[in-house]
Amino acid sequence: MRRFIMHRVKCDREYSLALSALCVQTAKQEPGEELAGSLVAKAWSAIVDTTETVGRLFKQNADLVATHTLDKLSCLILEKRALRKVYQEEHQRIHGELTRLRDAVLKSTSEYEKCIENAAAAKEKYEDQFMKGRGNRKVEEAKERYVKATRKLHQAHNDYILLLNEAMNYEHHLRTTLLPGLLEYQQTVQQEAVDCWQTVVRDFSHRTNFCSEPFQALQKSVVESIEQVNSDKEYEDFVERYKSKPIPPIDFHYDESLLNNYSGKLKPEQIAVDEFTIDSVRERITELQAKVAHIQAVILEKETQLAQFQVDVSEIKTTPDLGSAAMVKKRAVDIIKRERDEAKCQEERFNSQLQLLVQALSLMGNEVPRALDLDLDVTLNGEQSSKGEEIMDFTTISKIAARHFVDKLKSPFLRKQANRPQHSKDSEECITTSNNISEETNNTHHLRPYSRMTVNPNISLQDEDWFHGVLPREEVVRLLVNDGDYLVRETIRNETKQVVLSVCWQGHKHFIVQTTADGKYRFEGPAFSTVQELIVYQHHLGHPVTSKSGAILQTPIFRERWELNNDDVELVEKIGRGNFGDVYRALLHPQRLDVAVKTCRVNLPDEHKKKFLQEGRILKQYDHPNIVKFIGICVQKQPIMIVMELVPGGSLLTFLRNQGPKLSPKELLNMCTDAAAGMAYLESKNCIHRDLAARNCLVGKNNVVKISDFGMSREEEEYIVSDGMKQIPIKWTAPEALNFGKYTSVCDVWSYGILAWEIYSLGASPYCGMSNCRARELIDTGELEEFQKRLAGNIMLENQL
């Protein structure tokens, strides 16, 4: 329109010839479908049709049109652009708040679940420590952790409920007040713009109106077309054809399944008011009351402004000189109405939360409820007394057992008395067989197993619970905690197997079991035919293993339940190779279960064996459908093995390269989702994987992806490498880890991005054609992004072809 008027002025000044040519050219430009039914478009078309006829008379009014009409039209264009920007920003703001609340609800739900798990674990640990009857310090520490975890859970519970309430109210207000108000405001300002346009066109028509009779009829038709423009009806057809559907409601409700595994006092949809939350509840009430008072003051101010502007609008006469002032006042009224309505929505949300808190506080009574019932002393006094009786009885029983065992073995020792030194009576009365001790200890079956240390001739050393096979020394140190703790293991020195007794006694001590010339076993005392007899002798007698060390055997440390027997694992075929050894498909007896077995090479240094066992120790505590399942560790003899579930699909990298073209985009997305779920679980356990890649993921049934290979993992929130970066996978490692050796879960997020890239590229190598140094250089200089875009485009093209 502006261009047309400018050319119109020019044509007026260049006489009617140029103006006629312009009208012919303009007539060829038909309006688009979006203007069909527009009264503005129809009026403008009438103007164009009559322009050529009246062109010769435009010269006298051309200067007025150029100085007045065009200025008004330019202002209108700028104003409409500003209105569009305001609408977009407001629309984005109110929807952005909904998105923020939705994300906050998801995050709060995750935190809530984590707090419930932590509280349950702390409770279990506390009850376990209490039941074991250990020292007061450990019980108090477990109790303190339990209380802290429960306090945090209750806080998370309240935050979750309040956030749900806020999100629910805001979503309702968005649909019923905020968005309709914004649309109503947008329609109002657009209608006002139509009124402005009408004023501009009326001015233009006035400047081009001719009083001569030949042109009065044509001018009359133009005026009639313009007067038919009605701002109330202008957008009726447009809105009817292009209107959008109302946004669907979002159901924010309390997820009662969150409390399925919780047995405390929290209740769905109710604020918890107890000794842990009473202060925070009162603080929240004070805070909400202040917010309500402030928002009510804002509403009152908006009401006052609204009344004043409405009075001003009614007093302004709608004359050409005062029309713009009236329009500004009207627009201000509409803006104040929207702000007032939004403030009322906020007031309603605050009052709703305040009502929840005040109602919960009013039901509390005079005494603050307790959040936890920690009075376990009363219920456990009987059990403690019975344990005390067991300990009292063991002293007597052990003496009787030792006496019977000596009676059984005394004659063989006496036959060789002439050839060996004479031993004291105490040194002979300390070992018992299971047959002799059973007659005296039938009433002691409830004792702990180590309180009934016996020799069973039908059980080999490898089958004894306190024999740990070829367990490395570092693992032994981890197991032996208290003075008197001991275990027996096997080691290899100079290609010779040796049996070692490891004891915790003012530090960790390791004694090699000596073998006599006639094939018996001893330390500094008498020799015995089997290692079991020697260990039972030392245990019951209570004498030091050696006079120099002073170490006394008190508590045997049994194998953990996941320590398997090497003979129960039958290796079937080799299916891969790892950093420490080969990987096999195997059968686990007696269940004949198909499993995957990682082996550790016998000739590896002890430091590497420690890292190998560390992977099993980390993996055994995780249970998630997207984490490879741990079954056990075999350390009875060489080679050391880690037993895991057998995942039939094998390596994700190989699977993508072989079966990738057959996978649909949805299946690829599901693989990314599986990997993300597994990594999120590891993050919740404070585990940093450090080596996430397609080669270290496995594909199970239905193409489920499982995270594997925890050889580089660390159970820490932050881990700093201090032994160099030789084994670091450069192309999968985050820049901060490469530059500073600092690992967090955020580094795993970077690796996950590379993994997702591998999945969608069907197993292609990242930074293809580049060395590690070149790829790292691109990352550090920031040139990698453009390279990745080009590479991703090529891969997508190849997939499409």
Rounded CA-CA distance 472/508 in Å is 13
In the numeric block, which tokens belong to residue 455? 């020799």
Closest CA to 455 of 486, 431, 485, 489: 431
Q: Establish whether 123 is an annotated binding residue.
A: no
Helix axes 745-760, 665-684, angle to 10 degrees: 170
Rounded CA-CA distance 96/245 in Å is 19
Q: Establish whether 336 is an annotated binding residue.
A: no
Our separate counts of H helices and E strands in the chain read 23, 16
Rounded CA-CA distance 80/95 in Å is 22
DSSP single-letter state for residue 639: S
Q: Establish whether 578 is an annotated binding residue.
A: yes
Q: Establish whether 583 is an annotated binding residue.
A: yes
Question: Per this entry, what is the length of the chain?
Answer: 801
Exactly one of 12, 334, 691, 709 is catalytic; name it: 691
Identify whether the C-beta of residue 127 lies closer than 8 Å to the C-beta of residue 145.
Answer: no
691 labelled catalytic? yes
Q: Establish whether 550 is an annotated binding residue.
A: no
Cis peptide before 268 (omega within 30 of 0): no
- Give the amino acid at 278: I
Instruction: Kindly report the number of other CB atoms within 10 A of residue 705's CB atom.
Output: 27
Q: Establish whether 577 is an annotated binding residue.
A: yes
Closest CA to 151 of 301, 264, 254: 264
Rounded CA-CA distance 510/540 in Å is 19
Question: Pairing between strand 697-699 and 641-645?
Answer: unpaired
Rounded CA-CA distance 505/481 in Å is 9
Q: Establish whether 576 is an annotated binding residue.
A: yes
Q: Establish whether 542 is an annotated binding residue.
A: no
Which H or E element spans position 116? Answer: helix 70-132
Rounded CA-CA distance 430/302 in Å is 94
Rounded to the nearest angstrom, the gap between the alpha carbon of residue 737 and the centroid of all alpha carbons in its chain is: 21
DSSP string, 398-454: HHHHHHHHHHHHHHHHHHTGGGS----HHHHS---BHHHHHHH-GGGTTS-GGGG--
Closest CA to 303 of 343, 345, 351: 343
Closest CA to 249 of 356, 342, 170: 170
Instruction: Kindly report the number of other CB atoms within 10 A of residue 45's CB atom.
Output: 16
Closest CA to 652 of 600, 712, 576: 576
Question: Pairing between strand 630-634 and 563-564?
Answer: parallel
Q: Establish whether 512 is an annotated binding residue.
A: no
Identify whether the C-beta of residue 87 lies closer than 8 Å to the C-beta of residue 186.
Answer: yes
The owner of tokens 């519970």 is 157
Identify whether the C-beta of residue 587 lies closer than 8 Å to the C-beta of residue 600.
Answer: no
Q: Establish whether 581 is an annotated binding residue.
A: yes
Contacts of residue 4, defined as CB under 8 A and 6 or more positions apart, other chains included, come to 22, 26, 48
- Give the amino acid at 655: F
> Burial of 37 by CB count in 10 Å (0-12 exposed, 13-18 middle, 19+ buried)?
middle
Identify whether the C-beta of residue 521 lies closer than 8 Å to the C-beta of residue 461.
Answer: no
Cis peptide before 590 (omega within 30 of 0): yes
Task: Give the residue ranges of the annotated binding site for ATP.
Answer: 575-583, 598
Q: Which residues are catalytic?
A: 691
Task: Give the residue ranges of the annotated binding site.
Answer: 575-583, 598
